[in-house]
Amino acid sequence: MAATSEQKRIFITSLRRSFGQLGFDIVHPFAAQSYNVTAHGQNNPMHTFNQTSTLSFIVGSNRTFWEIFLAQHYPFRLETEEEKKDPMDHYCERLIPKVTLQALQDANLYSDREGEELTTPFTVAFSHWHITVPPAGTPPPGSKPTGFVAPPVTILPVQHVAHAAGFAYFNPIAFLNVHPVYGPWFGMRSIVTVDLPYDVSDNELLLVTDDNQTGTYSVDSKLIESNPAFRTLLPEEIEAQNAALEITKNELLAKGWKADDWEEWVDFRQRLTNDRPDWQRWRYSEKQMRYHYQKKPRFLEECAIEFQQGLKQSA
């Protein structure tokens, strides 16, 4: 039975509310087919569930995520070595499939009640450079089906998906996506695809407002044709900027990756914002950037302890 427009509205509204509470302020809707028609998509397509236009979301975060994550980060609760290695990835893997399933349940598109079982197929592909086995979101052995479908066995190139989805322009020189509002200061956490039809009205439902900062700034998820970082520059100025970025990138790559060089990579990222002072408000804090590049669990733990102590003192 096809979902009603009201069920779909409830699903998207629930998804938005729950993701926002968890620090995932980016919920950008698009049709999976917009990526699948690209060269990358033809080689490694997203699930479409036989829809002609399949509802998908880029789920991500900006600078506001840091404090929300630190407030709930208690390393002693992490059980496996994989969880301890990257607690932030674990946070995403644990919660994004759970929130998606709960939103489907809120919309009466999923039920595990005896005799009333109902599922709506969905999949969650994460942006980190590995796929857990079994994939995060897989129901535990012996439990009732949830509708979860494993993502493609080859990791989706989230940067290319984001470009095709009209979320953020992919700069192939910097190998970074650039968003019209956030600039380079955001993180993409996962791609959620659901067996529901995508329609441009989904963007209207998810538009960021003064009262709700979770959602999307795109009214139609159409492709962003040019780099927002260079919107005020002349063609020859853009060419010069790209040439300078290429030189700096090659110098960094020639040195090889070293965690202690994280500030140099931040400076490289910052150069994409030189002509966009409006992006400065979204710039990560120094500690957030340090963890983003170094991925040191001990440093993350120290940040969480300091932040939680500050909360207690201000209470």
| HEC per residue, 254-283 | HHCCCHHHHHHHHHHHHHHHCCCHHHHHHC
User: Coil, strand or helix: which one is 57?
Assistant: strand
On the question of pLDDT at 128 being above 90, the answer is no
Conformational region of residue 52, where left means phi above 0, alpha means psi within -120 to 50, and beta covers everything else? alpha
Q: Which secondary structure element, helix H or strand E, spans residue 305, and what is its range?
A: helix 297-314
- Please check the confidence at residue 129 and state whether its pLDDT lies above 80: no
pTM equals 0.96
How does DSSP assign 199-250, residue by residue? Answer: -THHHHHHB--SS--SBBS-SS-----S-GGGTTS-HHHHHHHHHHHHHHHH
Quick: pLDDT tens for 277-298.
999 999 999 999 999 999 999 9
Residue 51: helix, strand or coil by DSSP? Answer: coil
pLDDT beyond 90 at 130: no
pLDDT tens digits, one per residue of 180-195? 999 999 999 999 999 9
What was the pLDDT predicted at 1?
Answer: 64
pLDDT for 2: 85
What lies within 8 Å, CB to CB, of 204 at 6+ separation is 219
Indicate if the pLDDT at residue 22 is higher than 80: yes
Query: Model confidence over 26-54: pLDDT tens digits?
Result: 999 999 999 999 999 999 999 999 999 99
The pLDDT of residue 314 is 85
Mean pLDDT calculated for residue range 115-120? 94
Residue 233 has pLDDT above 70, yes or no: yes
Two structure tokens written together for 262? 């994280």
pLDDT tops 90 at residue 132: no
pLDDT at 18 over 80: yes
Element (H, E) at 16: helix 5-21
Say how far apart CA 190 and CA 171 lie, in whole Å: 20
- Residue pair 163/170 in contact (Cβ under 8 Å)? The answer is yes
As beta bridge partners, residue 30 has 56
Residue 173, burial from CB neighbour count under 10 angstroms (0-12, 13-18, 19+): middle
pLDDT of 53? 98
- Report whether 299 contacts 290 (CB < 8 A): yes
Q: 32 by DSSP, 3-state: which?
A: helix
Residues 245, 237 contacting (CB under 8 angstroms): no
By the 10 Å C-beta count (0-12 exposed, 13-18 middle, 19+ buried), 312 is classed as: exposed
Cis peptide before 134 (omega within 30 of 0): yes
Q: How many helices (H) and strands (E) does the chain have?
A: 12, 6
Q: Give the residue from 153, 127, 124, 126 showing the smallest Cα distance to 137.
A: 124
**Mean pLDDT across 247-272:** 92
At residue 257, the pLDDT reads: 85
Query: What SS3 class is residue 186?
Result: coil
Average pLDDT over residues 156-184: 96
Q: Which pLDDT tens digit goes with each residue over 57-113?
A: 999 999 999 999 999 999 999 999 889 999 999 999 999 999 999 999 999 999 999
Distance CA 54, CA 40 (A): 18
Mean pLDDT of the chain: 95
Strand 176-178 and strand 169-171: the pairing is antiparallel
